[in-house]
Structure 1
Amino acid sequence: MECPSTQMLLIIAMCISTLAVIYRSRQGRPPELTVKTALGNVTYNELDECVFHRSNFKLRAALHPLPLLDFIRKQTCEQIFADWLRIAASSSKFGIAPKTMPIKLKKKFLMYGYSVLIELYRDQHAVESPKDWTQIPEWMKLEEDQLRSIVAYRDQSMAVVHALKEYPPKNKRGLVIGSEKPWVEVLALRAGAEEITTVEYQKLTIHGTDRVKYIHPMELAQMWREYEGKFDFAIAFSSIEHSGLG
């Protein structure tokens, strides 16, 4: 006797479900994401326990190429700027950049044995070199296909262009952290930003526009309350990662 069409569909569906269960059981659990370290390939859960937690971070998600972390105990703005000023003051005692890693900090710097130490010494101690920025008005007039000629890292820097298109800063006030030439500032202004404040160790004198301001990092850290809530966005490109050991 031939099965009705509805019964036939149910039978087919049950067969497909059974095959899917068998397939998944044979495949087993997906492999846990691992990362290569000085101690071999380890899971992010191991790093969370042995490294992240010891540095006041916790693992939110094991992702590739970088994990998603969060603070265990979040610091206040007051604590962050106070710590920064304390560290900046203590580092001023060095006439030249130290050649050896402080023994008491070695474990933290090397992520408690999970990171590799490679010896390479450079003295990039900041030397006063005031700069005059006169190029902003000219760069504001460039065609879009000419922007690669002003950015610092050619193709890599175009990520800033794409980010500003994805998250347009129209009529917003922004902070640029570290800037030898005003290419980031110009890109932000061209994308609609109302005003940019640049944080830079070298003294900047800005010509041709009143929409770009300058402040020294020490001044910002000391006067942070005056700037609290004044910025809608911040941009840093190849700057913050050069602080300390880089």
Structure 2
Amino acid sequence: MNRLIQKRLETIQENIVRSCQKSGRKSDEIKIIAVTKGIQVELMQEALSCGLNRFGENRVQEAESKRIALEAEPIEWHFIGQIQRNKIPKVVEYFQYVHSLDRINQFQTIEKRLEMQKEKMLPVFLQVNLTGKATQAGLDKQEVLPFLESLYCFPRVRVIGLMTIGPQGSEETIRRIFHELYQIKEKIEEQKYSWVSPILALSMGMSDDYTIAVEEGATYLRLGRCLFGERSY
């Protein structure tokens, strides 16, 4: 078996440990989501053999075929893409976590679907847009608290964290964005909303900026290229 993924994972883990030492954190606080969009099932099986069992997908149809192929494996599936409303039933069925909610109608549709399936709860992350790019999804920072206050009527859709996509640019720019998300997390936790997790997770950091994200408080890293190499599509 090709051991490239194992070698890359060891490098990533070493980098995480160093970033945790710099910021006074414990490395076991950090969870890696292997972003497997466009990745063949064989490589996913290799990732599983390396101890990676959190997989992130952003296309429902692609995830469906992979779930069938890997049905016997103990995988934790994370949806990390934008959700089309007509895809919500399958997202609810296939995924244990959703990282990309930013609209009330998404919560409404998911809540109804969970009621129909008699499911207790779906953990979700609010996506926050801190770069100001109109092409990027997510709530503006000033929208986050009012948005959360409107979610009390969706008991089955549990906000457990915040997600953001880091900007392109200097380390200083990237660090500022990640630190800003951490500050929003602290403000939310001060509110003590009963329908929101009391301690929020932070889903931030990808292949090019995950070490900065760890130093700024990330708990979930979404890593693709640095694990699997460049995709062929």
Question: Do they fold alike, i.e. is TM over 0.5?
Answer: no
Choose between structure 1 and 2: higher helix proportion: 2
TM-score (norm 2): 0.23
Q: Whose Rg is larger?
A: 1
TM-score (norm 1): 0.23
